[in-house]
């Protein structure tokens, strides 16, 4: 059994060997409660309170589900924004460089490219992330100023 996305699993043909693969299917959810704190610990706490875990988007299907949830239940990040957002578990620290999921797998890979990122804030150190209903990842600080409380994917 693997938690890796199918595109990250390498198989090798071996005559006379039968291989079975089991992929874990995750379901996307968005929290009813909202927060202005995008720290990994807070996102985990909020998801856990509603019976879930922070979402790791490693398939196109999960991205489609997440986009629909954000479109239906997301909040405009700040005044004047024209798209809905929700906190995303992708995070960056000075030690891990590019954005990573909570399981330490890189965000850029099967589903996202570097072109899928944009700056969603004008101040603070960028370490947290939000997902827009357009499927793009906005980068911002864990506790940005002047934003509305957002739900968590």
Per-residue DSSP letters for 32-51? SS-BS---HHHHHHHHHHTT
Cα separation of 55 and 29, whole Å? 8
What are the pLDDT tens digits along the chain (153 aa)?
Answer: 555 555 555 556 566 666 555 555 567 899 999 999 999 999 999 999 999 999 999 999 999 999 999 999 998 866 555 689 999 999 987 665 689 999 989 999 889 999 999 887 655 567 899 999 999 998 888 877 777 889 999
Q: Rg of the Cα trace of the chain?
A: 16
| Separation of alpha carbons 7 and 74, rounded Å | 29
Ordered structural domains, the chain, with CATH: 29-140 (3.10.100.10)
- Residue 15 CA to residue 71 CA, distance in Å, equals 48
pTM of the predicted model as reported, rounded to 2 decimal places? 0.80
d(CA 92, CA 52): 22
């Amino acid at each position: 059994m693997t938690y890796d996305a199918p595109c990250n699993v390498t198989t090798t043909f071996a005559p006379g060997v039968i291989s079975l693969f089991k992929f874990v299917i995750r379901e996307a959810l968005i929290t009813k409660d909202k927060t202005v704190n995008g720290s990994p610990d807070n996102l985990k706490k909020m998801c856990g309170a509603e019976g879930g875990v922070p979402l790791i988007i490693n398939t196109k299907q999960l991205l489609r589900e997440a986009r629909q949830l954000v479109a239906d239940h997301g909040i405009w990040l700040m005044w004047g924004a024209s798209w809905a957002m929700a906190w995303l578990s992708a995070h960056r620290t000075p030690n891990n460089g590019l954005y990573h999921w909570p399981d330490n797998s890189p965000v850029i890979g099967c589903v996202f490219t570097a072109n899928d990122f944009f700056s969603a804030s004008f101040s603070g150190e960028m370490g947290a992330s939000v997902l827009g209903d357009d499927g793009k990842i906005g980068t911002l600080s864990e506790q940005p100023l002047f934003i509305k409380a957002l739900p968590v994917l």
